[in-house]
Structure 1
Amino acid sequence: MKAAIYHIFFLFITTIFSQLLNAAPGDQRFRLVDDGVLIFPDQRFSPGIRTVKVQVVTDRILRVIASPQEIVAGNNLVVTLAIPAGKFNTSVTDSSITIKTAGISATANLFSGAVYFSDASGRTLFEERKSGGRNITPVIWEGQSLYRLQQSFELAGDDAIYGLGQHQEDAFNYRGQQVILFQNNTEVAVPFILSSKNYGVLWDNGSYSKVGDTRSFLPLSSLQLFDRNNNAGWLTAIYRNDKNKQQEIAFEKAESVIDYAYLGDTKMKLPADFAIQKGSVTWEGAIAGPRTGEYKLRFTYAGYLKVWIDGKLLFDKWRQAWNPGAGVINLPMEKDKKKNIKIEWIPDGGESYLTANWLPPADPGWENAFSFDSEAGRQIDYYVVAGNNMDEVISGYRELTGKAQIVPKWAMGFWQSRERYKTQAELLNTAAEFRKRKIPLDNIVLDWSYWKQDDWGSQDFDSTRFPNPTAMIDQLHKDYKMQLMISVWPKFYEGIEAYKKFDANGWLYKRNIADRQRDWIAQGYTSTFYDAFNENARKGFWDLIHYKLYVRGIDAWWMDASEPDILSNVSPQKRKEQMTPNAFGTAAESLNMYPLQNAKGIYEGQRSVDPNKRVFLLTRSGFAGSQRYAATIWSGDIASRWEDMKSQISAGLNFSMSGLPYWTMDIGGFSVEPRFEKPNDADLAEWRELMTRWYQFGAFVPLFRSHGQFPFREIYNIAPEEHPAYKSMLYYNKLRYRLMPYIYTLAGNAYHHNATIMRGLVMDFGKDPVVKNIGDQFMFGPSLLINPVYTYQQTQRKLYLPAGVDWYDLYTGGHFAGGQTIAAESPYGVIPVYVKAGSIIPTGPEIEYTAQRSADPLIVYVYAGSNGSFDLYEDEGLNYNYEKGAFSGIRFEYNDAARTLTIGDRKGSFSGMLQSRTLYIQLVKPGKPSGMDFKPSGRKVLYRGKKLVVDLEASR
């Protein structure tokens, strides 16, 4: 009987598939169009998807759209490329259609519409999951019919994933991890992934999204819980009303949920008899899970949080309450086997945050899945970019979203800032002290609250503290040769004149006003932000800062709170309410794109009134495409702790590998633990070492800037002149300026060749499998391997020298073979830096600011062991003439076998270009070590723009 039933079922399924397979090509399953193919999936295999389009963008970029209806136009905020009908070939089988270009191909299943992608050689890159890989679910947002969009991909077993903006959980390879795309202070959402298989995916959606392992984290209560007496079902919660008196327990409770996620939660949910202002809570017991594998324990926190598993401290974090952080413990567990857990929380005052959630191992069959899950949109819409290497993939991303403008040359120098210079005299005295001490500096920053207390948004200086801002800026320019960057928020206090004008024009978000929400200044003021999606509002905001600030001589813009942080620590739902209505449509769709539009308004505004002065924007948040608006993003109000310094390495790398080349951080961290504000001798010693190590790291990221809360961050305020901290920070500041010919070339290459400045090792050494998960080392440009020291009192740094090339110690010239892990000496004042064999590094004279003198003479260091080349880039440094061809390039080529350096004919020209210069060429080779000491030695030549071949082994 069973056999008969199985036979009938088999015949039924065979008949269905036979009918489908034998369907004629003209049976409406697909239609070729000028730029690709439209596929009309069978609803039995792709429910809810009526149309799938595979569109050819270029010979290495394809676009996939999946729609529940007809294909609709994109939002046009992110992708700026005018997409022509590219060249492609097609081939059809009974079940699939393949589109092939010179650099990429896509094969779509004609029944389900699922697509898989291959490179030019036919090697599979990745594919949409065949079963359950695509879901479009109707939703309603703000009265409009939209869709929740979910797309899952299947990755190769050895694939690794990077990018997605900037996040603080100290994860580098995002495979198997979950990333939330929601703009927040310290979190930057960029929906672009970069694969170690040399492809990228740009997910064209601006809504709140989960990426990677997109399953919802579960409450702690859904784990197997045991209290400290082994009772099942809960943990033991121990409340103390004085954190300093651990023996005095106020009360104990059985608890199985820890959930104080957003503003107001602790007031509503914590026991009324708990003294949160000065108390602590400890949860003790054990956890167990339903199957063997890697679990994820995710915490958000403010205050101090420590987590022990089986007695081992695995999580030790701190954040101020106004800016909570997050972190994940990846925890291997065996089925039903208990692990002891202890969670200790010391809240930060009366309003604090803590959540504890978890994820089990991936379900069977989903181990290689990688997904996007966006809560609002009109259709699935993503771009696939293929390349021969990661740089080509990033180049394709910028082809889609815009080139990265070259920053003004001064921006590659050092910036000094603090929170904050309160008076005109304080700022000018700081500038004078830097010049007096001959500490190199190009840019000084005036942070928020230069206005009167009740006048936020006016962009007017408080005349009692800044009596003559125009003269102040003029003095900075003329006497101190410094630029001034100023903080501008998209924020307006209710009732000021600017607010009234914007309100009358309908340019403001009004929900925060209706809520009567006060900010943190004095007694608190009601405020809101302008609608950056409104073209007229953007122009109005530019006009305001133009006539109030730019005409005074302002050089650059610090665009704070650009998430928009209308009210900190609110839920995504509350943020959407605060951004409703907006000119884009629904806040749900546009949630993450505010910083892109905010930057656009200022970039286009400045170029409209001063078209040849380079715009420079420093913004706390960004999105895909921000690079085209001259935006540099910094990592927000991070904490001043060692673990926060370490997490900036992977955060900066993933941001850079998201396609945006300019990133920076507050050297030393922004938020300071109370113990460092009034330190004892031990805490002062740790503070100075932390600042020193962070400064060493900061000298080798794209933008080099110091900023933070008290204690003051100027070198001379951190330590006295004879202290090793002072000496080290001054050394790396001067080293940065010596390297300016190399560094500014990196900036030029970011525009002209779509290059990346801060580089994960996998970008340059992708054939070495060891580097895929190394997120605490990086390449600064093509030549310098940077290895930050991020542990207190550490004097040796374990690091990996990538295989396939030899390496040299920057300071001694010591030679090392690649493919090995070493324990590098890293005394207090030194960060280990290694130079790749074959590198050519031009260095300039000692200077105090970038425009002080031309790079003459050049001391050029050549590192033997491999052939190499370097194209020295130069232009006028401050304007956009490079867009018109006003720049020069000098190619250096090293032949290792012949030991010759060929300096090619200079290509191009610009106003003020050196016609001739002296070069000292130093060959660094095994057996003859020499460090980068900047002594004018080696082969001396006079270069007049014509080709020279220099024999580096010839007698001198």
Structure 2
Amino acid sequence: MIRICLFFSALMMVFLPTKAQRYEKTTLGAKATINQTTVEIQFYSPTLVRVLKWPAGNTFTKQSLSVIKVPEKTPIKIQENKDRLLISSKELVATLNLKDGQVTFRRPDGTALLNEKGAGSSFTDFTDSGTKTYTVAQSFVLEKEEPIYGLGILQNGKLSQRNQKIRMVQNNTWDFVTFFQSIKGYGLFWDNYSPTTFNDNAEETSFSSEVGDGIDYYFMYGGNADGVVAGMRNLTGQVPMFPLWTYGFWQSKERYKSQTELVGVVKKYRELGVPLDGVIQDWQYWGNNYLWNAMDFLNPEFSNPQKMVDDVHNLNAHLIISIWSSFGPATKQYHKLDSIGALFNFATWPESGSETWPPNMNYPSGVRVYDAYHPKARDIYWDFLNKGLFSRKIDGWWMDSTEPDHLSFKPADMDTKTYLGSFRKVRNAYPLMAVGGVAEHQRAASADKRVFILTRSAFAGQQRYGANTWSGDITSSWESLRNQIPAGLNFSLCGIPYWNSDIGGFFAGGYNKSWNDGSGAKNPLFQELYVRWLQFGAFTPMMRSHGTDVPREIYQFGEKGEPVYNAIESAIKLRYSLLPYIYSTAREVTNEQSTFMRALMMDFSKDKNVSNINNEYLFGPSILVAPVINAQYTPETIVKTNEKTGWNKKDNDKEKATVTETFTQPKATKVYLPAGVAWYDFWTNQMHNGGQEVLKTTTLSTIPLFVKAGSIIPIGPDVQYASEKNWDNLEIRIYEGADGSFTLYEDENDNYNYEKGIYATINFNWNNKTKTLSIADRKGSFPGMLSSRKFKILKVMADQSTETGVKNDHKEITYMGRRIAVKF
């Protein structure tokens, strides 16, 4: 009997370890092989989990192009409960089903967050340019009424991206980021750069990518939208400070044809007294298309480029210049890059060496896109940029075609070899590599001037490169304007806060009486659209007027005193008055992972009415913006172009209407005010309770703006450019009705000394009960800082029993950098 017991005891000792080996502990978590698939769960932090899957028997290693985070040492607990493996941190529980490989995520209190669809992973054999690999897909199951946001810059006009099928391949006007976040406070980044399909329907939500040796995604929990944004930036990179001058008004067009014309624009704005911080030079300053992107002034109309740059600077303005991802065959760059095999062979813009339209294909341009994935190619790119343009003290880079332009698409184009494999494998990350190459090189070359890049495309992680992405060559139409608001909001919800659009839309030929005669600026149909777009642009991270066919400078629209001119000037001056608020918000974006353009669900997630509002948002923490996005004075004109390929000058005479309009009658539009707070009309100071729709009277010069009760907003001086005056005599507006705070931020405006702590902050705190504003001791210092200043404190209050609802109280104080309390 004793022998039998010993035998069974030994037998149990043999088999017990077999059961324990259903999974393997790893440095960051655990992994297991289930149904011929290896699944590994890695905790990068208590709120960030990486999930890897690959066919058993293979190996899967990858150096991410987007992710730069080094995993933190995270205490985790691993438990096996029947057929489930629970891997837990103090913030998250990731569960692996040991029977079918399903991964689920929940909070430690049991709150469900996201589930993979059972057996929802797939690996389909695929040969990528001769290399055996897989097409990979992963499905998830969302709650039926769960809004999700993100996916990049989308021109579909939607805020929530439920019930969408989107083919994600970078193009001119759609910039894709394989990331979404949920109203439930989590986000998911699908780390794959090949052509990808996002699909959401009643059965599942999935990502499917053409090329992948394995499945690789990151799940992050933030608790709310700001927390998710912080998680994405923690994973893929933080946002640097932009120069103060980038937040002023920018004038551009396609294109200034001489240095005399370009400098003349700045001079004219100065003569008119209309604020301006910069002008942008578009393409062909290099000459003909065979010299495409030579990064040098070879066009005889730019015969003295250093004088042009100096003239702009002497007028207290800045200059940004166009550079591209491709080179003409007569350029030095082309030959240097070709010598290391760093040029692609697919068709790109411009197709013809002739500048006529349509392109004369009897004379192909020979322009080729460069391999931005190649580190040596990025070195070459910067070497020429540095010698030809940066050395001339040009202030920033307009990186066009960073998606890049890919015309006459052929399936074989995706087999093009890059430094990192096939173009197919890394397609969507091209803008990240192109922009990153310039940003990293400039930062290494100089800490005295902050990197500023205006780019047409983006991918996850691009926020770390000092880049502001614009929404491409969109059409000049009301529909296009409407689409820009959710496009900017969804892009911001991917963790990339700097976004803008061509004010007025790019293609505007339909508003001219005859082709390209510039008469559209006098056409009321375009005038109304342009003014409304400009007012929207005043509340985006970059206010930049640009387009073709119709000139956009303020003096093209009339003279001072006329309604359209006055409306344009009013919008620009409003932008400048808010610069202290905007620059302080920029500091919150950099230091606190905040966001400029805030979808209403970010701050009012408990109000279900705002979960899919696509035509309003908060700009910074306090100002609700409801742009006028429908024509009120004129009929809407429909302008159709091929936005994906861009540069389609096809003119439609049927859409050219003749309208006479004086723009003098007041109009009205409806605005929803989120629940839970009171709101002040920015223009009249009338207070409204939240949770209701109000009818707001508008004129051509005003759009609906509302300020949240408890807000503190600094109003800056009347200036002609951003840094013209120190922020003395600021008006500090207190919107009573709730406690509030605001931190005024100042630094040297255009270097990286702020990273060394060379900056100053002043904290303002409003106690609504005691009606007291406390201004704290100034913290920090920087050269040129004001040691003392005056503040005009304006308390905005409301009495709803009066018709206007307006009462104000103000006091003037001198602030010496020491704490002071102002009681009303």
Pair in the same fold by TM > 0.5: yes
Note if 1:456 corresponds to 2:292.
yes
Note if 1:576 corresponds to 2:414.
yes
The offset of 1:395, in angstroms, is 0.5
User: 2:380 is aligned with what amino acid?
Assistant: G
Aligned to 1:618: 454
Contact 1:812-1:930 at 8 Å conserved across structures: no
User: Measured at CA, do residues 574 and 753 of structure 1 come closer, stay the same or move farther in structure 2, by a change above 3 Å?
Assistant: farther
User: 2:441 is aligned with what amino acid?
Assistant: G
User: Measured at CA, do residues 519 and 175 of structure 1 come closer, stay the same or move farther in structure 2, by a change above 3 Å?
Assistant: farther
Classify the secondary structure of the residue corresponding to 2:448: coil
User: Measured at CA, do residues 680 and 708 of structure 1 come closer, stay the same or move farther in structure 2, by a change above 3 Å?
Assistant: closer
Note if 1:506 corresponds to 2:494.
no
Q: Give, in whole Å, the separation in 2 of the partners of 1:939 and 1:505.
A: 68
Classify the secondary structure of the residue corresponding to 1:37: strand
Return the match for 1:817 from 689, 708, 717: 689
The offset of 1:932, in angstroms, is 14
The offset of 1:575, in angstroms, is 4.8
Return the match for 2:471 from 635, 647, 650: 635
The offset of 1:779, in angstroms, is 0.5
Query: What is the 5 A alignment of 1:160-309?
Result: 160-213=147-200
Aligned to 2:650: none
Contact 1:174-1:212 at 8 Å conserved across structures: no
Contact 1:810-1:932 at 8 Å conserved across structures: no
Query: What is the 5 A alignment of 1:883-902?
Result: 883-902=755-774
Q: Give, in whole Å, the separation in 2 of the partners of 1:37 and 1:771.
A: 40
Classify the secondary structure of the residue corresponding to 1:650: helix
User: 1:529 is aligned with what amino acid?
Assistant: V
Deviations 1:878-915 (A, max 9, x none): 00111111122211111111111111122222222222
Query: TM-score, with normalisation over the residues of structure 1?
Result: 0.77
Classify the secondary structure of the residue corresponding to 1:921: strand
Query: What is the 5 A alignment of 1:879-918?
Result: 879-918=751-790
Query: What is the 5 A alignment of 1:728-767?
Result: 728-767=567-606
Aligned to 2:498: 662
The offset of 1:410, in angstroms, is 0.3
Return the match for 2:429 from 593, 612, 635: 593
Query: What is the 5 A alignment of 1:473-492?
Result: 473-478=309-314, 480-492=315-327
The offset of 1:710, in angstroms, is 2.1
Q: Give, in whole Å, the separation in 1 of the partners of 2:729 and 2:175.
A: 41
User: 2:534 is aligned with what amino acid?
Assistant: Y
User: Measured at CA, do residues 842 and 516 of structure 1 come closer, stay the same or move farther in structure 2, by a change above 3 Å?
Assistant: closer
Aligned to 2:799: 927
The offset of 1:874, in angstroms, is 1.5
Contact 1:408-1:877 at 8 Å conserved across structures: yes
The offset of 1:732, in angstroms, is 1.4
The offset of 1:608, in angstroms, is 2.1
Query: What is the 5 A alignment of 1:643-658?
Result: 643-658=479-494
Note if 1:472 corresponds to 2:280.
no
User: Measured at CA, do residues 607 and 100 of structure 1 come closer, stay the same or move farther in structure 2, by a change above 3 Å?
Assistant: same
Aligned to 2:241: 406
Note if 1:141 corresponds to 2:141.
no
Classify the secondary structure of the residue corresponding to 2:523: helix
Deviations 1:627-669 (A, max 9, x none): 1111110000000001000000111111111110100000000
Q: Give, in whole Å, the separation in 2 of the partners of 1:909 and 1:386.
A: 36
Classify the secondary structure of the residue corresponding to 1:465: helix
Aligned to 2:539: 700
The offset of 1:86, in angstroms, is 1.6
User: Measured at CA, do residues 863 and 931 of structure 1 come closer, stay the same or move farther in structure 2, by a change above 3 Å?
Assistant: farther
The offset of 1:526, in angstroms, is 1.5
Note if 1:90 corresponds to 2:78.
yes
Deviations 1:458-486 (A, max 9, x none): 222135201100011011112x1011000
User: 1:660 is aligned with what amino acid?
Assistant: I
Note if 1:422 corresponds to 2:257.
yes
Q: Give, in whole Å, the separation in 1 of the partners of 2:456 and 2:483.
A: 17
User: 1:542 is aligned with what amino acid?
Assistant: W
Aligned to 2:383: 543
Aligned to 2:395: 555
Q: Give, in whole Å, the separation in 2 of the partners of 1:609 and 1:932.
A: 56
Compute the RMSD of aligned alpha carbons.
2.2
User: 2:151 is aligned with what amino acid?
Assistant: L
Query: What is the 5 A alignment of 1:121-140?
Result: 121-130=109-118, 132-140=119-127
User: Measured at CA, do residues 441 and 569 of structure 1 come closer, stay the same or move farther in structure 2, by a change above 3 Å?
Assistant: farther
Return the match for 2:740 from 868, 887, 892: 868
Return the match for 1:66 from 49, 53, 68: 53
Classify the secondary structure of the residue corresponding to 2:428: coil
The offset of 1:28, in angstroms, is 3.0
Q: Give, in whole Å, the separation in 2 of the partners of 1:186 and 1:682.
A: 24
Q: Give, in whole Å, the separation in 2 of the partners of 1:575 and 1:940.
A: 67
The offset of 1:92, in angstroms, is 1.8
User: 1:841 is aligned with what amino acid?
Assistant: I
Note if 1:372 corresponds to 2:212.
no
Contact 1:403-1:627 at 8 Å conserved across structures: yes
Aligned to 2:367: 527
The offset of 1:378, in angstroms, is 1.2
Deviations 1:103-126 (A, max 9, x none): 222111111121111135331111
Q: Give, in whole Å, the separation in 2 of the partners of 1:782 and 1:903.
A: 19
User: Measured at CA, do residues 136 and 517 of structure 1 come closer, stay the same or move farther in structure 2, by a change above 3 Å?
Assistant: same
The offset of 1:90, in angstroms, is 2.2
Aligned to 2:137: 150
User: Measured at CA, do residues 139 and 786 of structure 1 come closer, stay the same or move farther in structure 2, by a change above 3 Å?
Assistant: same
User: 1:55 is aligned with what amino acid?
Assistant: Q
User: Measured at CA, do residues 663 and 682 of structure 1 come closer, stay the same or move farther in structure 2, by a change above 3 Å?
Assistant: closer
Query: What is the 5 A alignment of 1:669-818?
Result: 669-676=505-512, 678=514, 684-793=523-632, 795-818=667-690
Between 150-159 and 743-752, the greater mean CA deviation after superposition: 150-159
Q: Percent identity?
A: 39
Classify the secondary structure of the residue corresponding to 1:847: coil
Query: TM-score, with normalisation over the residues of structure 2?
Result: 0.90
Aligned to 1:116: 104
Contact 1:666-1:705 at 8 Å conserved across structures: yes
User: 1:521 is aligned with what amino acid?
Assistant: E
The offset of 1:931, in angstroms, is 11
